[in-house]
Every structure is written in structure tokens, then in C-alpha cells.
Copies of this chain bind each other. A is one copy, B any other.
Amino acid sequence: MEIVEVVAVKLAFKMNQLENKLNTKNIKPTSMRLLVLKQLVESKSAVSLSELENTFEKVDKVTLYRTLKTFEQKKLIHSIDDGSRAVKYALCEENCECEPEDQHVHFHCENCEETFCLTNTGIPALNIPSSFKAKSVNMVYKGICANCAD
């Protein structure tokens, strides 16, 4: 088998994985969505709409906006309010239902402005006054990330 073929097969396989991810969440796998999902999979930190806009300069931002909304609604990704003006998005873990027990802490670097999922750090249950009925919780640390430490 030629090298080119091997690469093609591998690429096809990778694409199939992405397609599967979308199918599993009942999202029709259009080329646009595969493109965005690929970017999200490869990204090491959470991405904002404007970052996506810069990555795919030819694609309209509204399309990207709606793609993210669809992904979020179908629980493929979760949104992160890191205190910067722009909302960021990151892939959910396997079997995530975006319930409080699935949520984790995030870290926003004040230097590089990147936001990371601390997927291993769950959010501890807290005793808040019983008159408040909590449905979700957002916990974000700010400081200097591993890459920016001197």
C-alpha cells in the first residue's frame, strides 16, 4: 500500500471518529461541524467564538456561533465564563451530562488569557443558605498558568 493511501485511510479514520462523536450526540455531521469539532478536539485550552473566527477566516461568524450553540445544547461542549468578556467553550468529557456532579473547576491565565479545564478537580459541595436552590455552579481560578510560569 502506498504511503499516500495510508495517510488517506488514517485521515478517514480520524474523520470517522469525529463523525461518530457527532452522531452519538445526535448532531448531523456537516463538514462545517466536523471542522469546528476537529479544532475543539485538537485545542489544549478552551476556545472563544472570536478565536474560531480567526482560525477559519472564510467561515461566517454567525455559523460558528450557531455551531457552538448546537454543540452546547447537545452537550458535546460546555461553555465557560472565565471573567474575560468572551465566553469560552471546551469539549465535554465522555458521558458528561453537564449536571453539577459532572462539572469541574477552570483556570484562567491572566498572562496568556487562555482558559483550561481542570477536569480532575471537581467542584466541592457547599452549604449555602437553604432558601437558595442551586442548579449549577461556576468556579474559576485566575492566576498564572503552567506555560506562563517563569
Question: Are B128 and A134 within 8 A (Cβ)?
Answer: no
Known: A107-B128, A118-B129. Is A143-B138 also a contact (CB below 8 A)? no
**Which of the candidate stretches A24-32, A37-45, A46-54, A119-127 sits at the interface with the other chain?**
A119-127
- Give the B-binding residues of A (Cβ under 8 A): 81, 83, 105, 107, 110, 116, 118, 120-121, 124, 126-129, 131-146, 149
Is there an interface contact between B126 and A134, defined as CB atoms closer than 8 Å? no
**Please, how many angstroms separate the alpha-carbon atoms of A127 and B141 in the complex?**
11
- Cβ-defined contact, B134 with A143, below 8 A: yes
Query: How far is A59 from B59 in the complex, measured between Cα atoms in Å?
Result: 42
A interface: dominant SS:
strand
Are B136 and A139 closer than 8 Å at their CB atoms?
Answer: no
List 7 other contacts, CB 8 Å, given A81-B81, A105-B126, A132-B144: A107-B134, A116-B132, A128-B141, A129-B146, A131-B145, A131-B146, A134-B141
The answer to whether B124 touches A126, judged by C-beta atoms less than 8 angstroms apart, is: yes
Chain B residues with Cβ below 8 Å from A134 are 107, 141-143
Report whether A144 and B138 are in contact in the complex, using a CB–CB cutoff of 8 Å.
no
CB neighbours of A107 from chain B (8 A): 128, 132, 134
The answer for the CA separation of A141 and B121 in the assembled complex, in Å, is 17
**Contact of A137 with B132 in the complex, beta carbons under 8 Å:** no
Q: Of B138, B139, B143, which one neighbours A132 at CB under 8 angstroms?
A: B143
Q: Distance (Å) between the CB of A111 and the closest chain B CB?
A: 10
